[in-house]
Amino acid sequence: MELLPDVIIARVNDFTCSDPGQNIIKNDILDLGLNRVVVAACTPKIHESTYRAVLIEAGLSPYYFQMVNIREHCSFVHPNDIKKATEKAIRMVRGGINRARQLEVVPYKEIPVKKAALVVGAGIAGMNAALDLANQGINVYLVEKEATIGGKMAQLDRIYPTDDCGI
| 30 and 58 fall within a common domain | yes
pLDDT-based confidence at residue 68 (cuts at 50, 70, 90): very high
Do the domain assignments include residue 127? yes
| 146 and 80 fall within a common domain | no
pTM above 0.95, yes or no: no
Q: According to the model, what pLDDT value does residue 166 have?
A: 63
The DSSP H or E segment spanning 51 is helix 44-57
CB 78 within 8 A of CB 101: no
Q: According to the model, what pLDDT value does residue 88 have?
A: 96
| 126 and 71 fall within a common domain | no
pLDDT digits (tens, 9 = 90+) for 17-58: 899 999 999 999 999 999 999 999 988 898 999 999 999 999
Which residues span the domain enclosing 151? 116-165
Do the domain assignments include residue 4? no
Do the domain assignments include residue 11? no
> What's the structural domain count of the chain?
2
CB 73 within 8 A of CB 88: yes
Distance of CA 1 to the CA centre of its chain: 34
